[in-house]
């Protein structure tokens, strides 16, 4: 019995082109997987950064509402409180803590990459004492203010609205 064997030497023989093609395909597949993983990693970092900034902006809005609530509770509505603030979008404010007491400061506040402002608007109510969508001076409710807190950064804006009343009726 005669057994014939054939030796395959890398770079020679009939199958050398196939080995090179297999290596090329393997390198291409590994490269595609690597580039895809890098892209996913970059996307995850970008989304994570965006979520972090959104969370910071949300905290700044909540912080400002708490400051407004403390300001309202520490002042007299019609003398030095929310009842006498200039209203409308042309009159932005921010709150600053001066000697453990909140004070309204005209303008906008810059906190790192964020810009924060508060706008107060007058409120009107109908005969059922429900707040109306648009202000009507005939039905003005001097003991309620619509408060809009806006936090902006880069090309994004977070805005929240709440209503504050003169609950002490002072």
Assess if residue 1 is contained within a domain. no
The three-class DSSP label of residue 153 is strand
Domain range for residue 28?
A: 21-165
Helix-then-strand count for the chain, H and E: 2, 6
Please give the biggest Cα pair distance in the chain. 117
Q: According to the model, what pLDDT value does residue 98 have?
A: 85
Assess if residue 35 is contained within a domain. yes
Give this prediction's pTM: 0.76
Radius of gyration (C-alpha) of the chain in whole angstroms: 33
Q: What is the mean pLDDT of residues 162-167?
A: 95
Assess if residue 170 is contained within a domain. no
Tens digit of pLDDT for each residue in 15-64? 667 888 888 899 999 999 999 989 898 888 888 889 999 999 999 999 99
Helix H, strand E, coil C: the string for 113-148 is: CEEEEEEEEEEEECCCCCECCCCCHHHEEEEEEEEE
Tens digit of pLDDT for each residue in 71-113? 999 999 999 999 999 999 999 999 999 888 999 999 999 999 9
Assess if residue 11 is contained within a domain. no
In which residue are the tokens 């042309």 written? Answer: 90
Q: Is the dihedral of CA 85, 89, 91, 95 positive or negative?
A: positive
Report the domain count for the chain.
1
Assess if residue 12 is contained within a domain. no
Name beta bridge partners: 97: 102
Assess if residue 26 is contained within a domain. yes
Q: What is the spatial distance between Cα 60 and Cα 71, in angstroms, rounded to a whole number?
A: 16
Assess if residue 4 is contained within a domain. no
Assess if residue 155 is contained within a domain. yes
Q: What is the spatial distance between Cα 52 and Cα 33, in angstroms, rounded to a whole number?
A: 28
């Amino acid at each position: 019995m005669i057994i014939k064997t054939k030796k395959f030497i890398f770079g020679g023989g009939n199958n050398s082109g196939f080995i090179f093609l297999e290596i090329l395909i393997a390198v291409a597949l590994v490269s595609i997987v690597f580039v895809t993983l890098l892209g996913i990693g970059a996307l995850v970092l970008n989304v994570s950064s965006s979520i972090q900034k959104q969370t910071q902006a949300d905290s700044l809005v909540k912080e400002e509402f708490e400051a407004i609530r403390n300001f309202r509770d520490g002042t007299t509505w019609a003398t030095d409180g929310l009842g006498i603030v200039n209203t409308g979008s042309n009159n932005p404010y921010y709150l600053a803590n001066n000697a453990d007491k909140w004070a309204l400061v005209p303008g906008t506040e810059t906190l790192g990459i964020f810009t924060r402002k508060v706008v107060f608007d007058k409120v009107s109510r109908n005969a059922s004492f429900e707040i109306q969508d648009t202000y009507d001076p005939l039905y003005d409710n001097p003991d309620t203010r619509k408060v809009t807190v806006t936090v902006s950064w880069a090309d994004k804006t977070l805005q929240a609205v709440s209503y504050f009343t003169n609950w002490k009726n002072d």
